[in-house]
Amino acid sequence: MNRSLLLLAISASIVLVSYLEVLGAQEPLRPPAPCRFRGDPLIPGLSSFFIPGLGQFMNGDDHKGFTHLVVAVGLPTLVVIAGRLLGEMGLWQMRETLFITAPLLYLGWGLHSGMDAYRVAETYCKR
């Protein structure tokens, strides 16, 4: 019973973070702090695709960069914890499905982070 509640709490936190990120994306763009990198916006975009949050730090948007980095580190951690719990509960098929979809979730997060960094850099950090 406790494991089921833990799994539910982990799932709810992932959904909540995703929902808050979507709400933040609906806000109009506001200028970040002074950009740390001025130049081609593709560089912060690619940086944030490979290391989520790095492009946001380059754009001077430290709060958003920290959020993207925490989600990028927390997502694999939560997947491993949920996988172990599902294995202990004997739900092997759900565990396999989780481990198959987890890389797609991480790739989606990297893509979102990269597109956000590119969009902000193109708007505010071009030369």
Pair 117, 55: CB distance under 8 Å: yes
DSSP string over 84-107: HHHHHTT-HHHHHHHHHHHHHHHH
How much of the chain is in helix, strand and coil states, percent to nearest 5?
80, 0, 20
At 14-33, the pLDDT tens digits run 665 665 565 555 454 566 56
Structural domain that includes position 90: 2-29+37-124
pLDDT the model gives residue 44: 92
Q: Give the pLDDT band (50/70/90) at residue 110.
A: very high
Q: Is the pLDDT of residue 1 over 60?
A: no
pLDDT the model gives residue 13: 66
| Number of folded domains that form the chain | 1
Which two tokens mark 120? 């902000």
Q: Which residue has the higher pLDDT, 57 or 125?
A: 57
Nearest to 109 by CA among 47, 52, 39: 52
pLDDT the model gives residue 91: 80
pLDDT the model gives residue 10: 66
- Number of neighbouring beta carbons within 10 Å of residue 58: 25
Q: Give the pLDDT band (50/70/90) at residue 118.
A: very high
At 42-85, the pLDDT tens digits run 999 999 999 999 999 998 888 899 999 999 988 888 888 888 88
pLDDT the model gives residue 3: 62
